[in-house]
Structure 1
Amino acid sequence: MSLTASLDASTVSAAPGAETAVPLQVRNSGTTVEEYRFEVVGACAAWAAVEPAVLSLYPGDSGTVSLMLCPPRDATVPAGETPFGVRVVPTGEQGETVVPEGRVTVLPFTETTAELVPRGSHGARAGRHQLAVDNRGNTPVTVRLGAQSGSERARVVFAAPELHVAPGKAEFARLRVRPVKRMLRGTPVTHPFQVFAATQVAEGQEPVEPILVDGSYEQEPLLPRWLPRALITAAVLVLALVGLWYALLRPAVKSAAREAVTPEAVRSAAAADKSKAPEQGGSGGSGS
């Protein structure tokens, strides 16, 4: 074979967001001038390149190119070991390719964000929120949840004390803000609060600062502010209806009753009573 190629290091570590160079030695053992191009194969091909892209060598000469590894700093490339190869392709028609192989270990990194949804809540008994935790790193994380001390008039309670979030995913933690004392009536009171999301890291890794998120809960009275006015309005309306009855409707009813009792009506009622009396007497005699 007129072509030989080898990597200076078959195993290498690469930090996300940074460039790592791996030298690749190429030797032309043939008898003619040869030009070579390079192709990276494997999962890291999307974030790797060879510089320079083309190398020309005289017979018996050697040259060096650099395999540049630059994994992105996001969740698309998980932390861990990935195999790769560099195909060295002679541009001549009779050339044979060689593929030196290696393994790259993508180092882990942690990047977590948190957001409170909604930022503000209101209610007489409790306020309801969700804390959205987004893992933008390349390794799974466990996030511990809690509330900062500071407000003695309201308590923050999480449904779960921690979240497990996969790379590139978001998880939601439910929480409630409960007032220490309930308020029967009065002006709504705003309780500011602060929650945190602390990412737990493996032993030996640099600790990560907890994420602090501010929120507020507006405590409303159990009796709505409009209720006293509504009760007063209803009482006034009832009194007005009663006054209307005594002032207008009741006299009209009495007048109608008096007009109905006329002399003709009295005589008619008396005649009806007299006609009923003989009938009752006759029926009594036939029975004996």
Structure 2
Amino acid sequence: MAVSALLRTTGVTVAPGGAGRCHVLIRNNSAVVDQFAFTVRGGTAAWTQVKPAKVNLMPNQEVSVELTFSPQRSAEVLAGDHPFALQVSSREDPHGSVVQEGVVTVERFTEVTAEVVPVTSTGRRLGKHTLAVDNLGNHEHPVEVTVADPDARLTFRVRPHAPRLRPGSATFVRVKAKPRKYFWKGPERSLPFVVKVLVPEQEPVEVEAALEQLPLVPRRFFWLFSILLALLILVAVFVMTLLRQQPVSIAGPAPSTSASAPPSSSAGAPPSSSAAPSSPGSATAAAVPPAVVNGGGSTRTPAPGGAAVVNSTFTVSAAAAPGVAGVQLFSYVVPEGTRQRLLSVRLTGPATDSGRVEVRHGNTVLAVYNLADLQGQGQLLNPEQSPLLASGDTVSLAVECTNATEPCTPQAVASTALVP
């Protein structure tokens, strides 16, 4: 063999960013002058330098070749053993090349950085952050992530809590910040906290962050609520104005003048018949109690036998005061000297009344109605057996008014037939 090589040190230890050296003794064993070239093989070739790269040797002459290993301080060159080989090639004897092998041990170094995104989160009940932890070192190792709140106003949830970092990679950790107390309204509150990454063989990495806590009720809610409330008030005022403009009569119709006139003036009878004490027309002119407004009238219809049946009406109007316990009585008194047969009673009233009303003949209750049912056409009472109203009898409205402020004003118009 034309050449021989001897690696004086087979193992070299070097720190990242530093340099390590070893020497190889080269000897020309041929009888001629030869040129030798040196080439480093393996993963260390990128950061290994050979001096000299070529050499000319006389027969039996020796030379020492220096190998310098300079791994960069980065995650590209991992910590641990890296084998290498030095190939010595002869120009005169290409097939007589030799190879010397060795191992370079790269020491470990640790470098971790961290960043929080976003730095300031916004929320009412929860703030979400992402912690990016970068391992810039040359070996894999675990870290521990903790969160510190100097004011103790937040609770935290960290996932994962203790990740393992691979060299040259970024690991993402989810951090959720939750306020201990909430508030309904007011300005936003800034709640700062610190995220710490505990790294072996290195000082802890601290990153500041904050939660901008919002009130539970948004500001625009109060604006919308105020606008809605104002609209409801306007609608209520408008409706009340319309209701107040509706005419509500609390007095019955005025008494008909025909009720006090002699029946002879309307029927064309002789003058002597108007003085009869039993005339129905004179009976309707009797006085009624002040609390009741009564009006009545009478008409004569011919009967088959030549006699006349006299029909009459009277009105009972009520004005029951609100807030009075029990019933309030409003009556019509049958005039002296007359008898009447009660045929029907129609009750009406405004829609705003609430409560109940009873139609009574003396102490006998003929019917009971709710005041709210008397609006419009009202209620028509047709007794199955028409009661006889003698002189001095009363037909009454017993009203129980549950209105808030306004009086209850039901009205009854009764139709009767005069009995001779």
Alignment TM-score, normalising by the size of structure 1? 0.79
Amino acid at match of 1:70: S
1:266 matched residue in structure 2: none
1:168 matched residue in structure 2: 168
State the alpha-carbon separation in 2 of the partners of residues 123 and 94 from structure 1: 75
The alpha-carbon deviation at position 13 of structure 1 amounts to 1.1
Instruction: Indicate if the aligned counterparts of 2:157 and 2:176 stay in contact, CA closer than 8 A.
Output: yes
State the alpha-carbon separation in 1 of the partners of residues 93 and 241 from structure 2: 118
Is residue 2:49 matched to residue 1:55?
Answer: no
Once the two structures are superposed, what CA deviation does each residue of 1:30-61 show, in whole Å capped at 9, x if it has no partner? 22222111111112122222122111222222
Higher relative contact order structure (alpha carbons within 8 Å, sequence separation ≥ 6): 1
Gaps of at least 5 residues in structure 1 are 201-206, 256-288
1:96 matched residue in structure 2: 96
Taking only aligned residues, the RMSD between alpha carbons, in angstroms, comes to 2.1
Higher-helix-fraction structure: 1
State the alpha-carbon separation in 1 of the partners of residues 76 and 168 from structure 2: 7
Q: How does 1:1-288 map to 2 (within 5 A)?
A: 1-93=1-93, 96-200=96-200, 207-245=201-239
Q: Secondary structure at the match of 2:44?
A: helix
How many percent identity over aligned positions? Answer: 34
The alpha-carbon deviation at position 247 of structure 1 amounts to 5.7
Once the two structures are superposed, what CA deviation does each residue of 1:265-287 show, in whole Å capped at 9, x if it has no partner? xxxxxxxxxxxxxxxxxxxxxxx
State the alpha-carbon separation in 1 of the partners of residues 183 and 34 from structure 2: 88
Q: Secondary structure at the match of 1:100?
A: strand
The alpha-carbon deviation at position 218 of structure 1 amounts to 0.5
Amino acid at match of 2:210: S
State the alpha-carbon separation in 1 of the partners of residues 25 and 238 from structure 2: 109
Q: Secondary structure at the match of 2:151?
A: coil
The alpha-carbon deviation at position 129 of structure 1 amounts to 0.7
Alignment TM-score, normalising by the size of structure 2? 0.55
The alpha-carbon deviation at position 95 of structure 1 amounts to 5.9
State the alpha-carbon separation in 2 of the partners of residues 236 and 138 from structure 1: 69
Once the two structures are superposed, what CA deviation does each residue of 1:15-35 show, in whole Å capped at 9, x if it has no partner? 122221111111112222221
The alpha-carbon deviation at position 196 of structure 1 amounts to 0.6
State the alpha-carbon separation in 2 of the partners of residues 94 and 126 from structure 1: 73
The alpha-carbon deviation at position 71 of structure 1 amounts to 1.8
Deviates more, 1:134-143 or 1:152-161: 152-161
Q: Secondary structure at the match of 1:226?
A: helix
Deviates more, 1:1-10 or 1:189-198: 1-10
State the alpha-carbon separation in 2 of the partners of residues 218 and 6 from structure 1: 69
State the alpha-carbon separation in 2 of the partners of residues 164 and 143 from structure 1: 6
Structure with the greater alpha carbon radius of gyration: 2
